[in-house]
């Protein structure tokens, strides 16, 4: 019989276990904790925790422990359980009442067996076979169904060989053991159901996030990968910072909730791009809108060449009868000279349209001169300037393909991101997502956007995301306006950004020292982009 002091102690254990179970986030650790707690409270040598399969037709082995045989399978052990599921119905479609765990689940009834070898009504042939192989003696069994708040059986807790806490002699499970196990199973079922519900909600939430990123991906195939690569690189950098044991970041540590919060922020960091017009996001050339308008300019050049030819032919007609061969030659020489100038100007504008190199002031002036000094007769037969004002504005973009107005449109995506994220009712452990996601275009010197925050005003996580966003953009090989940079070139630019107050110097040191950039490159970059990086030079810069 259980002493009152031992029972009181075990009740205290039960209360402590219940509190601990409600805090556990990891499903495997939760299941493991349930079985270990049940074994401890009932002084059982072994036990198995089964979970109902998704179709509700069988029990699946999740955790298995036998202390005296040093058997530990499932859960966090890394040792997989390869036993087949226990079906709840036999081949004839009848209840599988011969298996004690199945019986407990089918009938929602605790089964307390003093000795499996003498118990009638259940099939313990598998147990006997196990005992013969191992020299073990499976004797007492306590099998408890686990039922959630809706009355559904979600699993079975089975304990084997209750032991006297002093002599270690195997005995039957007492009525107190059964009551404690049933109470624990009830608490465990609620904790497991809550954890599963939270996990399902998290999965649903992440699915919505991926849906947003898919929408961005479908809008623009050039930025869809960005939405996946930036969070991956952010987490790599965060793990690198977490591993640092010395220096300014020695005290930085993350738990599982911190990691999840940063992961969600990474996935949502560009959600505002759903508001960005696709023709701006995908603008591969300076004149591109729905189509590249350079082809319209090509047509105008052809019109001017046709006009030049017509003009030359008319002049030639004026000479009919004079037989002035030198004058005729001069007409056609002038025509060919004019065509050459037109071809040169057309090739110049085509090159300017690409936006691959920064334009000099002389180049910008040449664009303006072509636009204003040349005239052509449009489809309405009206003589007008060769380039429209909008075409001149675009073709005189000094670097890249975006006008200032278009850059503002692109930059607005971060304002939209912050506005969208701040509208959501974030739970306590995700309240910093808007700040993390909304800070990746800020600079350490306060010259970033949209808020002009300084380093001291930003969290480390937001600064991490800023580094990840820049490095991904430099090395991305799916942009319409540039090839992906070599690793050494990108790291050189990052070092300059560190020196000029753009990115956080301490995190850049982690980026280099922990080999974060190289791990990312090996996973996401084309092998041709990965070259040797002089890390010593990066630190000296």
Residue pair 279/289 in contact by the 8 Å Cβ criterion: yes
Mark whether 121 and 230 lie in a shared domain: no
- Contacts with 232 (C-beta within 8 Å, 6 or more apart), sequence order: 266, 520, 523, 524
Segment 242-259 mean pLDDT = 93
Segment 77-100 mean pLDDT = 90
Task: With respect to residue 278, please indicate whether it lies within any of the assigned structural domains.
Answer: no
**Count of structural domains, the chain:** 3
Coil vs helix vs strand at 501: coil
pLDDT greater than 60 at residue 305: yes
Task: With respect to residue 239, please indicate whether it lies within any of the assigned structural domains.
Answer: yes
pLDDT greater than 60 at residue 2: no
Residue pair 510/248 in contact by the 8 Å Cβ criterion: no
Tokens 């910093």, located at residue: 432
pLDDT score for 1: 46
pLDDT score for 273: 83
Instruction: List the domain range (segments joined by +) for residue 394.
Output: 294-401
Segment 145-157 mean pLDDT = 88
Mark whether 382 and 463 lie in a shared domain: no
Which has the closest alpha carbon to 257: 427, 421, 417? Answer: 427
Mark whether 238 and 126 lie in a shared domain: no
Which has the closest alpha carbon to 18: 39, 33, 2? Answer: 33
Name the average pLDDT for the chain: 88
pLDDT more than 70, % of the chain? 92
Mark whether 372 and 437 lie in a shared domain: no
Mark whether 224 and 190 lie in a shared domain: no
How would residue 233 be classed by pLDDT, with cut points 50, 70 and 90?
A: very high
How would residue 538 be classed by pLDDT, with cut points 50, 70 and 90?
A: confident
Q: Rounded CA gap, 452 and 496, in Å?
A: 20
pLDDT score for 95: 92
- Domain boundary (141, 164, 198) is at 198
How would residue 366 be classed by pLDDT, with cut points 50, 70 and 90?
A: very high
Of 23-27, 57-61, 126-130, 310-314, minimum mean pLDDT range? 23-27
Q: Is 211 exposed, middle or buried (0-12, 13-18, 19+ CB in 10 A)?
A: exposed
Q: Rounded CA gap, 420 and 208, in Å?
A: 14
Mark whether 115 and 176 lie in a shared domain: yes
Q: Rounded CA gap, 150 and 233, in Å?
A: 42
Residue range 44-73, pLDDT digits in tens:
999 999 999 989 999 999 999 999 999 999
Task: With respect to residue 189, please indicate whether it lies within any of the assigned structural domains.
Answer: yes
Supply the angle between the helices 294-318 and 325-354 in degrees, to the nearest 10. Answer: 170
pLDDT greater than 90 at residue 277: no
DSSP class of residue 330 equals H
Task: With respect to residue 408, please indicate whether it lies within any of the assigned structural domains.
Answer: no
- Residue 106 maps to which CATH number? 3.30.450.40
Coil vs helix vs strand at 328: helix
pLDDT greater than 60 at residue 284: yes
Whether the ω angle into residue 450 lies within 30 degrees of 0, i.e. cis, is: yes
pLDDT score for 200: 87
Task: With respect to residue 456, please indicate whether it lies within any of the assigned structural domains.
Answer: yes
pLDDT greater than 50 at residue 362: yes
Mark whether 384 and 439 lie in a shared domain: no
pLDDT score for 32: 83
Which has the closest alpha carbon to 187: 146, 141, 144? Answer: 146
Of 112-121, 193-202, 244-253, minimum mean pLDDT range? 193-202
Mark whether 447 and 328 lie in a shared domain: no
Mark whether 160 and 35 lie in a shared domain: yes
Residue range 397-425, pLDDT digits in tens:
988 888 888 888 888 888 999 999 999 99
Tokens 């006008």, located at residue: 403
How would residue 321 be classed by pLDDT, with cut points 50, 70 and 90?
A: low
Please state the pTM of the whole predicted model.
Answer: 0.67
Q: Rounded CA gap, 13 and 1, in Å?
A: 19
pLDDT score for 329: 87
Task: With respect to residue 289, please indicate whether it lies within any of the assigned structural domains.
Answer: no
Cα–Cα–Cα angle for 395, 398, 399, rounded to 5 degrees = 105
Mark whether 256 and 382 lie in a shared domain: no
Cα-to-chain-centroid distance, residue 117:
54
Alpha helices in 400-459 (DSSP H): 404-422, 433-438
- Residue 521 maps to which CATH number? 1.10.3210.10
Which has the closest alpha carbon to 34: 196, 184, 199, 146? Answer: 184
Residue range 482-523, pLDDT digits in tens:
667 899 999 999 999 999 999 999 999 999 999 999 999 999
Residue pair 364/398 in contact by the 8 Å Cβ criterion: yes
pLDDT more than 90, % of the chain? 56
Of 188-197, 251-260, 288-297, 358-367, minimum mean pLDDT range? 188-197
How would residue 239 be classed by pLDDT, with cut points 50, 70 and 90?
A: very high
If phi over 0 gives left and psi between -120 and 50 gives alpha, with beta otherwise, what is residue 121? left
Mark whether 437 and 375 lie in a shared domain: no
| Beta strands 383-385 and 375-377, pairing class | antiparallel
Tokens 């189509």, located at residue: 291
Written as six digits, the tokens of 219 are: 């809008």
Residue range 379-396, pLDDT digits in tens:
888 889 999 999 999 999
Tokens 């994220």, located at residue: 421
Task: With respect to residue 204, please indicate whether it lies within any of the assigned structural domains.
Answer: no
Segment 457-485 mean pLDDT = 86
Segment 118-140 mean pLDDT = 92
Q: Which residue has better confidence, 220 or 118? A: 118
Of 129-143, 447-461, 481-495, minimum mean pLDDT range? 481-495
Residue range 432-454, pLDDT digits in tens:
999 999 999 999 999 998 999 99
Task: With respect to residue 354, please indicate whether it lies within any of the assigned structural domains.
Answer: yes
pLDDT greater than 80 at residue 12: no
- Domain boundary (337, 366, 401) is at 401
pLDDT score for 322: 65
pLDDT score for 430: 93
Tokens 């930036």, located at residue: 230
pLDDT score for 245: 92
Mark whether 231 and 306 lie in a shared domain: no
Residue range 161-211, pLDDT digits in tens:
999 988 999 999 999 899 988 888 887 788 788 888 888 888 898 898 888
Segment 135-156 mean pLDDT = 91
Q: Rounded CA gap, 133 and 131, in Å?
A: 5
Report the number of secondary-structure helices (H) and strands (E) in the chain.
19, 10
């Amino acid at each position: 019989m259980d002493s009152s002091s031992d029972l009181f102690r075990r009740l205290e254990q039960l209360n402590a276990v219940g509190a601990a179970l409600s805090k556990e986030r990891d499903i495997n650790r939760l299941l493991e904790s349930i079985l270990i707690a049940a074994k401890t409270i009932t002084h059982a040598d072994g036990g198995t925790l089964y979970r109902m399969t998704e179709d509700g037709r069988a029990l699946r082995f999740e955790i298995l422990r036998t202390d005296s045989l040093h058997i530990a399978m499932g859960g966090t052990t890394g040792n997989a359980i390869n036993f087949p599921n226990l079906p709840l119905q036999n081949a004839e479609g009848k209840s599988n009442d011969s298996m004690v765990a199945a019986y407990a689940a089918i009938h929602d009834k605790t089964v307390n067996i003093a000795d499996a070898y003498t118990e009638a009504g259940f099939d313990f042939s598998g147990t006997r076979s196990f005992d013969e192989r191992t020299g073990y003696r499976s004797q007492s069994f306590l099998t408890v169904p686990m039922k959630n708040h809706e009355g559904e059986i979600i699993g079975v807790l089975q304990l084997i060989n209750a032991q006297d806490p002093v002599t270690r002699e195997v005995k039957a499970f007492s009525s107190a053991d059964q009551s404690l196990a049933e109470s624990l199973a009830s608490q465990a079922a609620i904790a497991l159901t809550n954890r599963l519900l939270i996990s399902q909600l998290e999965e649903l939430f992440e699915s919505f996030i991926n849906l947003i990123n898919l929408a961005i991906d479908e809008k623009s195939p050039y930025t869809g990968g960005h939405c996946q690569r930036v969070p991956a690189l952010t987490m790599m950098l965060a793990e690198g910072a977490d591993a640092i044991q010395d220096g300014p970041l020695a005290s930085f540590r993350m738990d599982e909730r911190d990691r999840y919060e940063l992961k969600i922020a990474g996935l949502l960091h560009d959600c505002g791009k759903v508001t960005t017009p696709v023709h701006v996001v995908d603008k591969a050339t300076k004149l591109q809108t729905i189509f590249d308008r350079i082809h319209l300019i090509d047509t105008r050049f052809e019109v001017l060449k046709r006009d030049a030819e017509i003009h030359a032919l008319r002049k030639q007609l004026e000479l009919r009868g004079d037989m002035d061969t030198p004058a005729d030659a001069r007409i056609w020489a002038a025509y060919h000279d004019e065509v050459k100038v037109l071809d040169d100007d057309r090739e110049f504008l085509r090159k300017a349209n690409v936006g691959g190199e920064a334009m000099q002031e002389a180049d910008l002036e040449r664009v303006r001169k072509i636009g204003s000094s040349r005239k052509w007769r449009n489809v309405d037969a009206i003589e007008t300037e060769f380039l429209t004002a909008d075409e001149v504005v675009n073709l005189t973009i000094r670097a890249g393909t975006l006008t200032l107005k278009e850059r503002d449109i692109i930059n607005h995506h971060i304002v939209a991101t912050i506005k969208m994220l701040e509208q959501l009712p974030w739970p306590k452990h995700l309240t910093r997502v808007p700040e993390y996601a909304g800070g990746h275009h800020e600079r350490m010197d306060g010259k970033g956007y949209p808020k002009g925050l300084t380093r001291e005003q930003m969290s480390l996580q937001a600064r991490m995301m800023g580094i990840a966003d820049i490095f991904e953009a430099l090395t991305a090989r799916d942009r319409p306006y540039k090839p992906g940079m070599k690793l050494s070139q990108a790291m050189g630019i990052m070092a300059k950004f560190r020196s000029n107050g753009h990115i956080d110097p301490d995190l850049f040191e982690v980026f280099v020292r922990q080999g974060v950039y190289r791990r990312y490159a090996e996973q996401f970059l084309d092998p041709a982009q990965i070259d040797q990086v002089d890390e010593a030079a990066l630190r000296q810069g």
